[in-house]
Amino acid sequence: MKKRIILRFKKDTIDKPIVYRLVKDFNLVFNILRANISPKAESMMVIEVEGTETNFKKGMKYLTGLDIDTEPMEQDINRDETKCVHCGVCTSVCAPEALYIKDRKIMKVEFDYNRCVACELCVRVCPVKAMNVSFE
């Protein structure tokens, strides 16, 4: 199974090897999609976690025991194909390259959902409002 989750850290958990423990103790594979870490304030990390359902549940229980708030990532970025004019503006702000132009001859913007970290930058810059946020 693979899930995207948001971790919210309190100030006193910032110095613990939390993600390392998820890998080592629970055999979970993770990908950090977005992080805002500050040693003097609450911090946030969005990760994609992959592993067996049993190990995932054990890993989430471990995080709860450390007083780390976990929540499923409930927002997704979508593109309305009927509005998109393939101008490419979104590709200039997409750091994970989820939005990209594959073939420069036809200038069609491709969208790889699996690479998207839901940062919403593309939503803000799209001149025709083809990019939008949806909530599960």
Kindly list the structural domains of the chain, giving each domain's residue range(s) and its CATH number in brackets, ordered by start.
Answer: 2-72 (3.30.70.260), 76-135 (3.30.70.20)
Alpha helices for the chain (secondary structure H): 18-26, 53-65, 121-125
Token readout for 103 is 């073939």
Rounded Cα distance between 28 and 23, Å, is: 5
Task: Evaluate if pTM is beyond 0.85.
Answer: no
Categorize the per-residue pLDDT at 52 as very low, low, confident or very high, splitting at 50, 70 and 90: very high
In tens, the pLDDT along 54-101 reads 999 999 999 988 888 888 876 678 889 999 999 999 999 998 899 999
What's the whole-number average pLDDT of the chain?
Answer: 86
Q: What is the average pLDDT across 111-115?
A: 84
Lowest mean pLDDT among 35-44, 51-60, 104-113: 35-44
DSSP conformational letter for 11: G
Distance of CA 7 to the CA centre of its chain: 11
Contact, 56 vs 28, CB < 8 A?
A: yes
Asked whether the predicted pLDDT for residue 53 surpasses 90, the reply is yes
Instruction: Return the pLDDT at 135.
Output: 56
